[in-house]
A and B are shown apart, each in its own frame.
Chain A
Amino acid sequence: MSEAAAPAEPALIAFRGIEVAFGGKPILTGIDLDMHKGEFLCVVGPSGCGKTTLLRLAAGLLPPSAGRVLYEGHDIVGPQRDVAVVFQDYSDALLPWRTASGNVSLVYETLGTPRDERADRIASVLARVGLAEHADKYPSQLSGGMQQRLQIARCLAQEPKVWLMDEPFGALDAITRQSLQDEILRIVADTGTTVFFVTHDLEEAIYLGHRVIAMKPHPGRIAATYPVDLPHPRDQRTTPEQPEFMHLRRVLLEFIRGTQT
């Protein structure tokens, strides 16, 4: 386990006996989970098992039907300023009437950043996701991958303590995906950010995570937790060649196959 997840520290985000039901139908049941500061937690599981629902609980967008969701020991009653969410459906999460820089600017407007500082900050954030040349384009003029990078840029501007990411790199080509994976790992290493990362890509989960949570559907629950004992910093070329990586990949693959029968 990573040094950040030392047992003495209280959980940054904690799920306690969570039940979620929609219209009487149980969606999530018996969720108990602690996330520690600086931890990178990946969540995998078949479609419809409740990964997004779990993320929405942590975001304060959805109250549980039973149980508690705690942030720094307090019940989450709504969205928090230092928690950023990257949504699965990136095109709906952007403001189509604002350019790329306008979308990032929204964050600085709500934070009350002085007007004359905004331009530089927007430019640097867009540059970090490789959108420097597209600052004046509207979302409708950007590709799916670029829109998703814009959503990530907007969260970067927020400088959050916690990232909640819902299959953020699914729409990206391999090269862009790898560079953003490394970017997010770098942010975590630099700033001690905590990440809750939903993905259906098992290798991505292993590559990024300190821990991988595997969920089962009907109703959604946590079926297994796998610590990832791979050294940091991770490397796109060598990490996947390590025996631990290959071992975990096989275990997770078998798990996923098992949920589908």
Chain B
Amino acid sequence: MTPKRLLLLLLSVGVAAFIVGIWQLASNLHWVSPIFLPPPDRAWAALLFDIERGDLASRVLLTLEHMFYGWLLASLGGILIGSAVGISSTARAYLAPTLEFFRPLPASALFPVLIAFFGLTENMVLVVIGFGALWPTLLATINGFATVKPRLHEVARLMRLSRRQFILSIALPNAMPEILAGMRLSLTIALILSVTGEILSGSPGLGYWIMLQARAFRAPDLFAGVLLFGLIGYASVQIVSLLESWLLRWRA
């Protein structure tokens, strides 16, 4: 690690510590009632206690499962549909406006619709996550196909690449930086929708658990859950970023 990166790391840790400090201070000095904002040490204690009691781990696992499978569904769907649309400039021209119309639809608005179709099931949750998290990857794939440089199209023609070879060797790698950025966005959307989905469907994941804590006015436990979500979000994005820098190591 270079000294500069070390300094940045120290600074970012410092900022986080500072915010936790303010939080602790705000609670201790009763700027905010601890009923709404418990001090971090109590939230931490609650977290440890809940983990020890045993059912938190399985809930986290369930939520991770929702998030991961929903994200996988969205990523595969996005890349496949995106490739099918992106390969033909005509399909791109025809379909892009429709896709742009669907994209800003809030995925959570789909819950009522899909509950009618699927009922309050795990599949329903997965479909909503898949749909909501699909867009960044889908549009990134289409765009990545559109931005293949004319020269590479010529190289592909000269080498007589088949359509499949063109997609696999040129179009998808060309789209890869955008696809990965899209997948990173998708991950966050998937996490948000897992929580919403669990709360609505009563699936016993972390999202549902948090809602129970809120209903019971167990602020420390509620905050413990929020902390966990933060951690899950942070860690998962870090993992994808690592994957990203490995897959894009060809970039200067």
List residues of chain A with CB under 8 Å of any chain B CB: 59, 61, 78-79, 81, 83-85, 87, 89, 92-93, 95-99, 106-107, 109-110, 138-141, 158
Contacts and interface: CB of A to CB of B under 8 A. Distances in A.
Given A81-B160, A97-B174, 19 more contacts: A61-B157, A85-B158, A89-B151, A92-B149, A92-B151, A92-B152, A93-B152, A95-B170, A95-B173, A96-B251, A107-B159, A109-B165, A109-B169, A110-B160, A138-B250, A140-B250, A140-B251, A141-B252, A158-B159
Contacts, number: 53
The dominant DSSP class at the B interface is: helix
B154 A140 contact: no
Contacts of B149: 92
A216 to B, nearest CB: 27
Given A89-B151, A97-B173, A98-B250, A59 B165 contact: no
Nearest to B154: A61
Interface residues of B, number: 21
A78 B252 contact: no
A87 B151 CA distance: 9
Contacts of B152: 92-93, 95
A93 B151 contact: yes
20 contacts: A61-B157, A79-B160, A92-B149, A92-B152, A93-B151, A93-B152, A95-B152, A96-B250, A96-B251, A97-B173, A97-B176, A98-B169, A98-B173, A107-B159, A109-B165, A110-B159, A138-B249, A140-B250, A140-B252, A158-B159
A79 B157 contact: yes
Contacts of A158: 159
B243 interface: no
